[in-house]
Amino acid sequence: MICPQCQADNRPDSRFCHKCATPLQMDKNGPIDQTLTLEISPAGLTRGSLFAGRYEVIEELGRGGMGRVYKVYDQKIGEVIALKVVHPEISVNEKAIDRFRNELRFARKIGHRHVGRMFDLGEADHTFYITMEYVEGENLKSFIRRSGQLAPRKAISLAKQVCEGLSEAHRMGIIHRDLKPQNIMIDREGSARIMDFGIARFTEAEGLTGSGVMVGTPEYMSPEQVETIEVDKRTDIYALGVILYEMVTGRVPFAGETPFAVLIKHKQEAPRNPQESNPLVSEAVTRIILKCLAKDKAARYPSAEELYEDLTLAEGELPQAEKGVMTGSFRGAKRLAKSWVWAGVGIAMVMAFVLIWYQFLRKEPARTIGDEADRARRVYVAKPPQPPPGPEAGAERSPGQKTEGVTSLFSLFSPDALRKLSQKEIRDILNFEKQMANIKGVIPQGAAFDETWANAYQKVREGNRLHEEGRIEEAQKSKKEGQDEMQKLLTMVAQRDKALEAKSFLVETKGKLRATRGIENNVLYRVASRREQDAEKAFNNSDFSGSRTLCSVLEQVFRLSGQCADANACLKSLAVLMANMRSAAENPASGKIDPWLYEKAKACEGNAQRALVQNDHEGAADQYIQAAFLYQKMIDSTLL
């Protein structure tokens, strides 16, 4: 084989040039084509550049064995995401790319609050890239370095969150294989998110590592990975044990001068008791860590669920007044003292700046109301306000007028109307937006939210105006209407939480059924799977109540599908379920029923009976599910 660098002649099975050590990049099909021109600079993407015609680079987040990760703005969907550009030597390996594309198809299905979502695998300029969810925060490795030894309560809390994410992935048959603190992000709320699911499997693709080659990060590799034998979910349990050890002690259990030395220790040495490094670690936590780090995987926790249960018990045994810093540790005390010094310096600088700023404002000429309105509009409105169409374009928005995409209440006013606002009205708008921001952060933004938000403000503002005119009764009525609008937002939040909980139960039940042999041929399973799309569509359209009701019905249907194999038996069980819901809806204790929903549900029952006569099992199942949904909707409405 000819070296592409120095043109030296090498043996056909050589992986590196014997003269210049250039990788020859062999796979089973022969040498990889070295003539392909790659457009990505070795220095990576530059800030502000446009990649793949849609991703505007904001900054580089990090780099690793697969490639570089960037924070980018997706111009097509208008969101900030993370983009991993795969190294050129991996991009040209077609077998590796094909295998990872197949792995990604499964990894992207993991939908859990403690797992970072992976979106897609794309190609641009002969270079492959992966798009994924961007999590604002820091990775766990950085958090440990900054904090030193984490308090056991904090470490257990993070480990439990990782357990939840692993449990969902393992239920779907997906193993991470490279779990480490660098792949766990801590967001602004302190919640853990597992990243890079499926990418570790990518590096095991044929042609990259070959058969029998170790894959992973040495400090977090399990003994079976060292032996290059088959791995399972207990491999991730081992890695989590290493991470938990590192969180409570500030160091990994096995360290060495070379990666090979670390691997040998994972295989042969027993870890030191974590209590030697941190006396605050309880006996229960110590037992959990050492069980996770058992050399024989049969001696470890068989599942993330069992590990989660023991962590919960250990958490309950911890003292409530536990502190997050070892007061006897000189290193921790020194870090704490330094942080207080810098905090004091920062506070002094802020106070000085505020004093100077206040003195400067006292000497500044008084601003006019129009100046204040213009300043507020420049600060809080990203785009100039678009007047509504029609003959009244440019006029102030009336309370009943529709609006879409409201980014700030200032955008509801034309420039002329904005200048007429008083200073008090400007302050009212800013205070109202602060109140709404707390609600807006927890529900999806959209027309439904924006319309309710704008209407609530208009009612409150009208109430203030009426109060100033002495029309107290009318003012109270208007403000009450505004408060009712705000209550709608709170109701949306509550309904969304219930819908998410119902979706979670549905996914869990269906996930357990996937391992059942021949379940895909079950009539209830097939029809419920199709109906699942309707529940998702309702959720995306902010119909949280309808989505929750349908998810709860489908969850029961999936359970029935696992209890019967024969189509006739399944339909009989479904008919019984539907009849029970009808009885509950007809129960006088449940309150007055909706006659329209009731008649529609009865019609669906008749359709199901006709479908049975025609031997249309799927049609009958679909109509029974629709009837059950309507009856359940009547039951839910009487409970509100």
Per-residue model confidence as pLDDT tens digits over 204-217? 333 334 334 445 67
- Tokens 């207080």 identify what position? 340
Model pLDDT for residues 607-623, shown as the tens digit of each residue: 998 988 888 988 999 99
Model pLDDT for residues 356-383, shown as the tens digit of each residue: 665 554 444 444 434 444 444 444 443 3
Model pLDDT for residues 32-73, shown as the tens digit of each residue: 444 343 444 555 788 889 998 999 999 988 876 677 889 999
More confident: 263 or 95: 263
Q: Is the pLDDT confidence value at 339 over 90?
A: no
Q: Is the pLDDT confidence value at 30 over 90?
A: no
Query: Smallest Cα–Cα separation from 84: which of 108, 103, 106, 57?
Result: 57
pLDDT score of 416? 64
Q: Is the pLDDT confidence value at 467 over 70?
A: yes
Helix, strand, or coil (residue 86):
strand
DSSP state of 93: -
CA atoms within 13 A on the CB side of 510: 23
Residue 515: how many other CB atoms lie within 10 Å: 9
Mean pLDDT of 587-596: 67
Per mean pLDDT, which of 290-299, 378-387, 440-449, 596-605 is the most reliable?
Answer: 290-299
pTM for the structure as a whole: 0.46
Please answer whether residues 606 and 565 qualify as being in contact, where contact means their C-beta atoms are separated by less than 8 angstroms.
no
Q: Is the pLDDT confidence value at 391 over 60?
A: no
The Cα 208–Cα 128 span in angstroms is 15
**What would the two tokens of residue 276 be?**
């030697």
- Tokens 């704490």 identify what position? 336
Mean pLDDT of 546-569: 87
Mean pLDDT of 105-110: 76
C-alpha dihedral (174, 177, 182, 184), degrees to nearest 10: 30
**What would the two tokens of residue 435 be?**
């109140």
Q: What percent of the chain clears pLDDT 90, i.e. is strictly above it?
A: 22
Q: Is the pLDDT confidence value at 452 over 70?
A: no
What string of H, E and C letters represents the secondary structure of 440-502?
HCCCCCCHHHHHHHHHHHHHHHHHHHHHHCCCHHHHHHHHHHHHHHHHHHHHHHHHHHHHHHH
Mean pLDDT of 249-265: 89
pLDDT score of 346? 76
pLDDT score of 105? 74
In the chain, the amino acid numbered 155 is A
Alpha carbon separation from 289 to 89, 232, 266, 274, 537 (Å, rounded): 38, 19, 14, 8, 43
The catalytic site residues sit at 178
Model pLDDT for residues 159-203, shown as the tens digit of each residue: 999 999 999 989 888 888 889 999 899 988 889 999 887 554 543
Model pLDDT for residues 279-335, shown as the tens digit of each residue: 889 999 999 999 999 999 999 999 999 999 999 999 988 875 444 433 333 444 455
Q: Is the pLDDT confidence value at 406 over 70?
A: no
The Cα 362–Cα 42 span in angstroms is 55
Mean pLDDT of 484-491: 71
Model pLDDT for residues 193-243, shown as the tens digit of each residue: 998 875 545 433 333 343 344 456 789 999 998 887 888 999 999 999 999
pLDDT score of 311? 95
